[in-house]
């Protein structure tokens, strides 16, 4: 059964490693791979919480 792997992408080194891992796993298992990122921030949101 084909699974879906979703990876959030940033410019951080750990993100690149996550993409590498997910790409390898999806290739080996025949899974779908989706990458997502957020451009800019949410309007009207300031800080945490």
Per-residue pLDDT tens for 5-49? 999 998 899 999 999 999 999 999 999 999 999 877 666 666 665
- pLDDT value for 2: 86
Q: How many CA atoms lie within 13 A of 14 on its CB side?
A: 1
User: 16, 44 in Cβ contact below 8 A?
Assistant: no
- pLDDT value for 16: 94
- pLDDT value for 38: 81
Task: Mention every residue, 6+ apart, whose C-beta is less than 8 A from residue 39.
Answer: none
- pLDDT value for 48: 62
pTM of the model: 0.71
Nearest to 31 by CA among 7, 10, 11: 7
């Amino acid at each position: 059964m084909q699974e879906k792997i979703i990876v959030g992408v940033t410019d951080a080194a750990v993100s690149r490693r996550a993409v590498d891992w997910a790409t390898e796993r999806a290739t080996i298992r025949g899974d779908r791979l989706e990458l997502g990122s957020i451009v800019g921030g949410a309007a009207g949101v300031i800080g945490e919480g």
